[in-house]
Structures are given as C-alpha cells and as structure tokens.
Amino acid sequence: MNIPDVEIPRIVIIGGGFGGVTLAQDLKNKNFQVVLLDKNNYHTFQPLLYQVATAGLEPDSIAYPLRKLFEDQPNLFFRWAEAKYIDTATNMVETNIGPLSYDYLVIASGSDTNFFGLNQLQKVSMTMKSVTEALDLRSCILQNFESALLTSDLEEQNSYMNFVIVGAGPTGVELAGALAELKNQILPGDYPDLDLRKMKINLVEAADKVLPPMSKQASEKAEIYLKKLGVNVWLNTAVEDYDGEVVKIKNGKSFKSKTLIWSAGVKGAIIEGLADDIVERGRLQVNEFNLVKNQTNIFAVGDVAFMKTEAYPKGHPMVAPVANQQAAHLAKNLVAIAQGKKTVPFKYFDKGSMATIGRNRAVVDLPRFRFQGTFAWFVWMFIHLISLVGFRNKIVTFFNWVYNYFVFEKGVRLIIRPYSRKK
C-alpha cells in the first residue's frame, strides 16, 4: 500500500463517514501516523441523499473529496480502498489494494441496508445509502415516467407511476415528501401527455406512527404534512414480499408497483475476521471506551458500534451526531492511551432530532422543546447547511435550495447513467 513505516504508532481508520472523518481530523498534529481507508474517494453527506434521488441537488453538492479535507494534515495518509478482512492475530487489515498492519484499528464503516432476510425483495428493490444508489434512484424515477408514456396498457402505466416507500423513518418521510413535490410541481410540466394525478406515493410503515423514534407530536404533525402533500400513509403495515411487480403486505393486501424503495432498516457494516459472538443487533459490541469486545487495540464508532448503556439499553441511535461525538471522544482517549493517561467513558449528548416534509415543513424535537412547521423547516435547512462539509458545497447547495424554493424547480432531472431494472 506504500505507506511509509515510521516509529510512531499507526492508527488505521476504516471508513470516511462522519465518524472516520471527525476522528482523522481530531488526530491532526498528534503523535500518530493515521491511515484512512474508504471505498469511495469522497465523504458522503448521507442526510441529503434523498435530494439527489429526487433531482433537487447535484450529487457533487453532498460529496466532498476526502483528499481535499486532509490537505494540510501531514500525518494522514488516505487510501482509496475497501477493507475486506481483519486479522486480529497479526494486527493486519486485508484490503483490495493489499494488506496493512496497524497498532490501533478503528472501525467506522457505518451501516448497510438491512432487508431482514427478504431476499427476493432485496434483489429487485431500490435503496438510498450511497451517491450511486441515489443516482440510480433518480434515473429509475425519471425512466418510470418515460416508460409510462410509452405504454397503452393502463394497468402497467399505473404501476410505473406507483411508488412504494417502505419504512417511515426520517429517510422514508423525507423521500416521500420530495417525491410528492416532484408530483405536484415538476412532473406535470415535464409530462403534459400523462395524467399525473395517477402518480401515487405510498409510505408503508410497520409501526403505528411515522418517524417512530420521534415524539408523538412530531409524528402526528409529520403525518398531517405528508397527507396534505398527497402521500398515502399506511401504518401498521408490514411488507412481506416483492417480486418487482407486486408488493405483498402481511394482512393480505397488495400494491402493484414497479418501484419499491426500501428504507426500513439498517445494520452495521461489519468487516469479516472478528468473532461472530461480538455482534449484537447487527453491530459490533463495544464498551464505553468504544473498545470492541475481547479486543485490546480495535475500536468501533458510529453506526457499526453497539454501545449499551443505562440510558441506551438497545444501543445508541444510528445517526450522525453519535458517530461524530464518539469519534471526537475516541481521539482524546487514543491520545491518553499513548501518553499512558487514564481514558474517559463516552457519554452521548442528545441535541435532538428533526425531519423535513416537502418544501417548507419540518418537525423538530429538541431535548426540552418541540416545534413543527415553517420555522422548523428553516432550522432544519440551517442545521444541514452548516453541517455540510466545505464552503463550496454549502454555497452550491444553498443556491439550489433558494432557487428551488422560489421557482418550484428541480433542476437536475437528468438520466446520466440509465438504471437497469433488476429481475
């Protein structure tokens, strides 16, 4: 891998998501050699992937070149590589570009989509966990309308215009809202020969409310906002199977749809080599110092880490703030370890959660305060903008949002790489 051998300890970080980037940045000018591995050469701002999928933002606005992030950090080496296997006996990571030894290893590999064993559904459904998946979804949505235009079979036409989103967490809710805006404001102009009232957006959720982890107030308001936008919300509705044509529901109901978007679950992106008995709920068990169970020099942070505490008996939520906070905390602990000082257990500071529904509605749960509506939407927009990495991305995103807001436009309705429907 052509990383120079040096005297100081080498920390290998797997993953350039929120956790990996924060950790790497916080290790700047510390007495370590830091090697960051990611299967992409960019960091992805995942919370806005749904805007790429619905032609509201350019993919480049939410992806940031990792090398650029670390230009003035001489102790950091980035390698565009996918970690394949961890050999704990020899302290080596195997990757697609060769092996690499570590003194400390930090797994910050994030999460993968969890299909809960629905194999056929997995094969033919769309997901939205990466820039390429979001671009595939953008192509797929636009191609559906091109196909709907061409068929004289009305049932098939409806099926192309029928979208089923499974899972009403923030991703599902935000995607449903953005699709509804496409339906209400954009597509009628693009497809004057189609009756866009036939387009259906079905948001299907197994639980009894949308945004299950949020407050009752937020869930109720979000449902009202979704319905106002024309989204069909199906609660207490568990999807059983999908073959690319028909979505089967547990109670015997079904939808005819060419497009099922699965946002119903995630699981830790676990790398092979660690013992199976340390996996709980699809994540790696770590203690309050983010140390992986039964390991002495392997840590895990963020989505992939399962840290059970009194306050979080089911593990910490799989969201960006946990990854950021654990990473920042771990950076301090690693420095303490190297200096022979005492390490400090992690404590999560929950700043709240939020979701946006369409063009100017959002719901926000703060620890002591809840609000919904237009002001919440401005708060949502502000928080996401200041979190976007890099000045340039902020400006481009801001411009796109302002433009979309005032002219009701989604500028990037491009099918650059057509999506091939799987069978």
Contact residues toward a copy of itself (CB under 8 A) are 1-2, 4, 40-42, 58-61, 63, 65, 67-68, 71, 74, 77, 79-80, 97-98, 131-132, 135, 142, 146, 149-152, 189-193, 390, 392-393, 395-396, 399-400, 403, 409, 411-417
Half-sphere exposure at residue 245, Cβ-oriented, CA atoms within 13 angstroms: 3
How far apart are CB 65 and a copy of itself at their closest, in Å? 4
In terms of Cα–Cα distance, which of 79, 70, 69, 72 is closest to 13? 79
98 vs 212 by CB, closer to a copy of itself: 98
Contacts of 75 (CB under 8 A, 6+ apart): 27, 28, 29, 30, 32, 33, 34
How far apart are CB 127 and a copy of itself at their closest, in Å? 16
64 vs 102 by CB, closer to a copy of itself: 64
E strand map for 114-178? 162-166
Buried b (16+ CB within 10 A) or exposed e, 163-182: bbbbbbbbbbbbbbbbbbbb
Query: Judging by DSSP bridges, how do beta strands 305-307 and 283-286 pair with one another?
Result: parallel
* 3-class secondary structure, 414: coil
How far apart are CB 207 and a copy of itself at their closest, in Å? 34
For residue 73, give the amino acid letter: Q
* 3-class secondary structure, 70: coil
CB 17 within 8 A of CB 46: yes
For residue 105, give the amino acid letter: L
Q: Tell me the C-alpha distance between 331 and 336, whole Å.
A: 9
How far apart are CB 189 and a copy of itself at their closest, in Å? 4
333 vs 400 by CB, closer to a copy of itself: 400
190 vs 243 by CB, closer to a copy of itself: 190
68 vs 248 by CB, closer to a copy of itself: 68
Active-site annotation holder among 58, 94, 146, 174: 174
Cα-based distances in Å from 149 to 158, 195, 281: 11, 10, 44
How far apart are CB 152 and a copy of itself at their closest, in Å? 7
CB 115 within 8 A of CB 270: no
How far apart are CB 374 and a copy of itself at their closest, in Å? 24
Contacts of 267 (CB under 8 A, 6+ apart): 111, 112, 113, 114, 281, 282, 283
174 is catalytic: yes
76 vs 305 by CB, closer to a copy of itself: 76
Residue positions annotated with a catalytic role: 174
